[in-house]
Chains A and B, each alone.
Chain A
């Protein structure tokens, strides 16, 4: 009894060490963001923010707010577009036995294998003609392609778990397919909607390839591109770059704190099917 509990604490200690090693880069980002500019190139580097400065964060508020708002809008736009397209499709595939459902499933898997750089070129060629380059709408559509196939597969897997008896009962009460979808399937799929939304937001927020190709000269660039330009323009101000990186990590942190089990569920749903 005594021995097992000691071993458990040993494990906890070891786990802490592993986690500390793994998260060191994250700590380092935080540390650098608080380091005064004169100390950035100290040798050895400052391991702890003993004399923290907020000049980096000041720079974020002075310069990065429009980029953060742009990213927020694009992320929210992607969430709406993804859910509106994926949820009904999941319903059709999981519960309405759509003809060619297997083919559709297959196409969605293949779609996830197309490199973003190829999609970016295709979108670029299309947007040049349509005048959609450097527009928020164009970026919302392009970014949503990262999440839509995943979200459909997620909704399909989830909705297969909804008992068909409920649909039957709803049918008996005279509800049509749309009514059943709206008042039974959607409320029951709350967790799937949440998971799909979280990932759609996070992926749109994190996107660099589409942003750097389709919105390069936009008046409103997303925060990822803004960080990239920052690095290109002034390589001395790493505290400000890292401060922006810290702020750009906030959605990831929020996700982890408030929706950790959905994150794990989402990662697994993409890979391990029932």
Chain B
């Protein structure tokens, strides 16, 4: 990241007095015809069309037809327009799934970010083992989701889970983490916070590294205490990096299926059902695949993700400038 910037700046500027067309000609000679660039990007372009655009179009196609398994093979599904969308939105499950998604994303992000930031500030002071410990914090993020989710599921087991035995030590009654509708959403949120901390820590830590030391020295000269420095210096300077971290976390949390599905399948009684999990369940989670509503839910999810995604792209452009 930093090397890219410096190298970029080091590229020779156009000498004063040299005409633009002269430079253009020279550039062309160095880089060859524009078709050479296209040739190098061609595999990617073909790939994006075949393996991104086409599946996407197929999923939109699913959402405006009435597909069942037979129609899938024969390819003669009836066109129903926006009926699937209307059915999904008017379903009593929709407000619940939307609210669960909101809680899942919002609570996860608040805790991931604040814990990640606190740890990043903590690790910024060099101390023995700090590098090794920081590296070990990456582990939860690198583990396959099936591994971490099933471990959490077993830890949260009502009868034999270690979490309940910890609670027992401090005199709290056992909690039916994943089997009670009151706590299942909370349970998957806890696991998801744990999963997201490493990512937040790494990005915020690298953001902290990019704040020049002189800023802190100046603040110290002005007699600012550590809390003052954090609120008045660190936090504002970190804002662009924070925004990107949160937006990326948001897009990821919005679309994640694995954690919730493996831990609770969205249940019991839909209490931990998010939009992404609902979509997955309709299409693949039951013996009776219902691709059309599933695709409709998925496409609603894309729209939501894109709104935030575009905010992200916009923001990144601002940061670049």
Among all A-B residue pairs, the 3 with the closest Cβ atoms: A122-B55, A115-B255, A206-B144
With A22-B136, A157-B1 known, 18 other A-B pairs at CB within 8 A are: A11-B127, A15-B122, A15-B127, A19-B133, A88-B43, A96-B36, A113-B305, A115-B276, A115-B305, A125-B291, A161-B4, A209-B258, A209-B280, A228-B146, A264-B135, A271-B203, A271-B248, A272-B206
Query: A43 CA to B164 CA in the complex, in Å?
Result: 10
Tell whether B218 is near chain A: CB-to-CB under 8 Å: no
Inter-chain contact B147/A15, CB cutoff 8 Å: no
Inter-chain contact A208/B203, CB cutoff 8 Å: no
Known contacts being A116-B255, A205-B144, A252-B144, is A96 close to B283, with CB within 8 Å? no
Tell whether A57 is near chain B: CB-to-CB under 8 Å: no
Query: A50 CA to B27 CA in the complex, in Å?
Result: 69
A-B contact pairs, 13 of them (CB 8 A): A12-B129, A25-B148, A45-B161, A89-B40, A89-B43, A93-B41, A113-B309, A116-B257, A117-B301, A118-B56, A148-B47, A228-B146, A256-B139
Inter-chain contact B1/A97, CB cutoff 8 Å: no
Tell whether B109 is near chain A: CB-to-CB under 8 Å: no
Known contacts being A121-B298, A122-B54, A212-B284, is A272 close to B128, with CB within 8 Å? no
Tell whether B79 is near chain A: CB-to-CB under 8 Å: no
Known contacts being A32-B154, A267-B202, is A213 close to B283, with CB within 8 Å? yes
List the B side residues contacting A152 at CB < 8 Å.
Answer: 44
Tell whether A69 is near chain B: CB-to-CB under 8 Å: no
Closest beta carbon of chain A to B111's beta carbon, Å:
13
Interface residues on A, range: 35 or more
Closest beta carbon of chain A to B312's beta carbon, Å:
7
Known contacts being A208-B145, A271-B248, is A245 close to B58, with CB within 8 Å? no
Query: A145 CA to B53 CA in the complex, in Å?
Result: 11
Contact partner, A22, options B34, B161, B197, B306, Cβ 8 Å: B197
List the A side residues contacting B262 at CB < 8 Å.
Answer: 208, 228, 231
Tell whether B83 is near chain A: CB-to-CB under 8 Å: no
Closest beta carbon of chain B to A156's beta carbon, Å:
9
Interface residues on B, range: 35 or more
Known contacts being A267-B202, A273-B316, is A115 close to B254, with CB within 8 Å? yes
Closest beta carbon of chain A to B93's beta carbon, Å:
16
Chain A 226-247 interface residues, beta-carbon cutoff 8 Å to B = 227-228, 231, 238, 241-242, 245
List the A side residues contacting B2 at CB < 8 Å.
Answer: 274
Closest beta carbon of chain B to A49's beta carbon, Å:
13
List the B side residues contacting A106 at CB < 8 Å.
Answer: 313
Residue of B4, B36, B56, B126 most packed against chain A (CB within 10 A):
B4
Chain B 1-45 interface residues, beta-carbon cutoff 8 Å to A = 1-8, 10-11, 27, 29-32, 34, 36-41, 43-45
Tell whether B80 is near chain A: CB-to-CB under 8 Å: no
Tell whether B320 is near chain A: CB-to-CB under 8 Å: yes
List the A side residues contacting B56 at CB < 8 Å.
Answer: 114, 118-119, 122
Known contacts being A45-B162, A117-B255, A117-B276, is A109 close to B37, with CB within 8 Å? no
Chain A 92-109 interface residues, beta-carbon cutoff 8 Å to B = 92-93, 95-99, 104, 106-107, 109
Known contacts being A109-B312, A116-B255, is A88 close to B40, with CB within 8 Å? yes
Interface of chain B: mostly helix, strand, loop or mixed: helix
Inter-chain contact A273/B319, CB cutoff 8 Å: yes
Known contacts being A231-B150, A252-B143, is A28 close to B162, with CB within 8 Å? yes
Inter-chain contact A269/B1, CB cutoff 8 Å: yes
Inter-chain contact B58/A125, CB cutoff 8 Å: yes
Contact partner, A99, options B37, B279, B291, Cβ 8 Å: B37
Inter-chain contact B37/A118, CB cutoff 8 Å: no
Residue of A116, A125, A171, A224 most packed against chain B (CB within 10 A):
A125
List the B side residues contacting A241 at CB < 8 Å.
Answer: 150, 154
Inter-chain contact B30/A171, CB cutoff 8 Å: yes
Residue of B nearest to A10 (CB): B127
Inter-chain contact B283/A22, CB cutoff 8 Å: no
List the A side residues contacting B142 at CB < 8 Å.
Answer: 202, 252, 255-256, 263
Tell whether B160 is near chain A: CB-to-CB under 8 Å: yes
List the B side residues contacting A44 at CB < 8 Å.
Answer: 165, 168
List the A side residues contacting B62 at CB < 8 Å.
Answer: 121-122, 125
Contact partner, A45, options B61, B160, B241, B258, Cβ 8 Å: B160
